[in-house]
Structure 1
Amino acid sequence: MLLGLAANRLHHHHAEGALFEFLRQAESGIRELKIGFHAVGRTYDAITQTGMLQHYAPLVRYPHGSRGGLMKLVAEVVGMPEAGRTLDGAIYFIDPVDPSSIFPEALALKRQCLIHAKPFLSTVASARDWLEMERIHAGLARNPQADRLHDFERQTIALIAHDALKPTMLEFAGRNFELLSRFARRVGTGTTGQRLNELAWSRGWPLDQEWVYRFNSGPLGGDAQIADLVLDRRCQRAIFFEDPHVARQHEADIQLLERAVTTVTHEAVCVTAPHIAQRWCDAALLRAVRA
């Protein structure tokens, strides 16, 4: 397995940065799974200067972002098979107030991960959650340090989908209804929330109770309302099926939610691709059996 790896300066210029926090908690799992990293210049330098991932051959240095390092990762997510360089996803620890986080190559990295159904992990919580998911699928014992991320009965999950992916969200929710029902609370926006409630009622959920608490539709500020929950640590997980192929009239609102998630990088998990969301659900069920 091979991932791109990058971190904005906030996350690697001091010992408590998100990059180092992730590696402290994840290094054993990284070595177990033999995950390779193509790390952009300063991210690689920060790792080696702190002595993390010592003598780990699958860690490879790429150019600085200003010299095309992040652009190369985008191409490798798409695939460079003739050069033997195809990434299985990307970890990019984003500082939401760093202008480079909205440079074309940064946006393209996420978009191409979406298009090619590969994980795009922009928070420490998302990266730790993904690593535990892959460990479980590899048949390894659960990591007790990840228990907090799987304490669903104490968590709120947001279920959001763009218009073209609303049917996909309904299929996903129907397939994983019992697992999603374990969460203390489910929230959503407008039409998606209503259709999920109708699904739940058809499954026997009490007719006088909403399965999903509905905020406004996205264009009317629903994404911003859920972003506020995330910032207040009242929403710990978002499954947000984004359509990368259409222009989005409320782009600023969508970015607001995405930036809220990265602001609370240690707390919020965000999944944007249906394939990855299903893989997470399958792992969560397997992990519960091994508890």
Structure 2
Amino acid sequence: MHLGLAANRLHHQTEDAALFALLRACEAGMRELGLGLHAVGRTYDAIAAAGMLRGYAPLVRYPYGRDGGLMKLVAEVVGMAEPGRTLDGAIYLIDPVDPSSVFPEALALKRQCVIQGKPFLGTVAGARDWVEMERMHAGLAPDPNADRFHDYGAQTLALIAHDAMKGAMLDFAAGNFALLSRFGRRVATGTTGQRLNELAWSQGWPAGTPWVDRYNSGPLGGDAQIADLVLERRCQRVIFFEDPHVARQHEADIQLLERAVATATHDAVCATAPRVAQRWCDAALLRGARVAR
């Protein structure tokens, strides 16, 4: 597997920066997986200067962002004809107040990951969780350092879907109902929340007892309400099925939630495509079975 890798300056300018925290936690797992990393120039330089991933051949340097490095990653997420130039997703550690986070290439990288059904890992927690997920699919033993991401009873899960994706969200929830029910709390916006509660009651959840706590609809501020939970570290995992093909009048609210997740980089995990979310559910079941042995 191959991922694009980029980190805004905030995340690699000090020894305890997010990029280095990620590599300290996941370098062993990345090596186990033989994970290819296509790193944009400044990110690659920071890794080399820190003496990390020494001698790791699958780490490849790309041009600086100003020279088109991030644009090349977007093309490779879509898929290039040349061998080795198709990415399976991207890690992009964003500084929410860095203007480059809203440059066209940054927005396009995330959008194409959603369209192609590939992981867009915008936080340290999300990237750590993904590495552990892929380790489970590879048949490896659970990493005890990842246990906190799987303590579902102590976590809140947000389930959000745009109009065109509500059917996909209901199918996802129905197919993974037992796993999602392990979370200590579930929250959702407006109509999605109502439909999820109706689904839960049809699955045997106690009638009249909400399976998800409903917030406002997205256009009426529900995304902002859930963003506040994320910022207060009271929501640890967000599954947000986005429809990237339509103009959205409340785009600012959606970006607010995404920036809140990026701000809580060590604590919040976000999946934005059904295929990625399902792969996580499958890995969670594999991990639970291995831990129970």
Whether TM exceeds 0.5 here: the answer is yes
The structural deviation recorded for 1:111 is 0.5
Q: Which residue of 2 aligns with 1:8?
A: 8
**Do residues 194 (structure 1) and 197 (structure 2) align?**
no
Following TM superposition, the consecutive aligned residue runs of length 4 or more in structure 1 with deviations greater than 6 angstroms are: none
Matched residues in 1 for 2:185 and 2:268: separation? 15
* Cα distance, 1:289–1:84 mapped onto 2, change above 3 Å: closer
Report what 1:235 is aligned to. Answer: 235
Deviation at 1:195, TM superposition (A): 0.1
Residue 212 of structure 1 corresponds to: 212
Alignment of 1:266-281 (within 5 A): 266-281=266-281
Aligned-partner residue type, residue 132 of structure 1: E
Q: Percent identity?
A: 76
TM-score, normalised to structure 1's length? 0.99
Partner of 1:131: 131
1:25 is matched by which residue type in structure 2?
A
Hey, what's the Cα distance between the residues in 2 that align with 1:91 and 1:104? 17
Please name the residue that 2:260 is paired with. Answer: 260
Deviations 1:127-180 (CA, angstroms, capped at 9, x unpaired): 000000000000000000000000000000000000000000000000000000
SS in 1 for 2:204: coil
TM-score of the two chains, using structure 2 as the length reference: 0.99
Structure 2 residue 250 is the aligned partner of structure 1 residue 250: yes
Task: Provide the residue aligned with 1:158 in structure 2.
Answer: 158
Partner of 1:3, secondary structure, is: strand
- Name which of structure 1's ranges 82-91 and 236-245 shifts more when overlaid on structure 2: 82-91
Residue of structure 2 equivalent to 1:81:
81
Question: Any idea what the Cα deviations from partners look like across 1:48-104, whole Å, max 9, x if unmatched?
Answer: 001000000111111110110000000111111235411111000000000000000
Partner Cα separation in structure 1 for residue 82 and residue 285 of structure 2: 38
Tell me which residue corresponds to 1:44: 44
Instruction: Point out where structure 2 has 5 or more consecutive residues left out of the alignment.
Output: none
Correspondence for 1:184: 184
RMSD: 0.6
Q: Which secondary structure state, in structure 2, belongs to the residue aligned with residue 81 of structure 1? A: coil
The correspondence of residues 15-54 of structure 1 with structure 2, limited to 5 A, is 15-54=15-54
Q: What is the CA distance between 1:208 and its match in structure 2? A: 2.6
Rounded Cα–Cα distance in structure 1 between residues aligned with 2:118 and 2:285: 21
Equivalent residue letter for 2:88 = D
Residue type of the alignment partner of 1:277: A
For 2:90, the equivalent position in structure 1 comes to: 90
Cα-to-partner distance string for 1:252-271 (whole Å, 9 max, x where unaligned): 00000000000010000000
What is the identity, as a one-letter code, of the residue corresponding to 2:37? F
Instruction: Measure the CA separation in 2 of the matches of 1:180 and 1:77.
Output: 29
Per the alignment, residue 106 of structure 2 pairs with 106
Task: Say how many residue pairs are matched.
Answer: 291
Which residue does the alignment assign to 2:203?
203
Query: Which has the higher mean CA deviation after the structures are superposed, 83-92 or 137-146?
Result: 83-92
* Alpha-carbon distance in structure 2 between the residues aligned to 1:252 and 1:83: 38
Q: State the one-letter code of the partner of 2:278.
A: Q
Q: CA offset at residue 207 of structure 1?
A: 1.3
- Residue 204 of structure 1, CA deviation: 1.1
Partner of 1:143: 143
- Aligned to 2:82, the other structure's residue is in SS state helix
Match of 1:165, as an amino acid?
M
Q: Distance in 1 between matches of 2:84 and 2:29?
A: 25
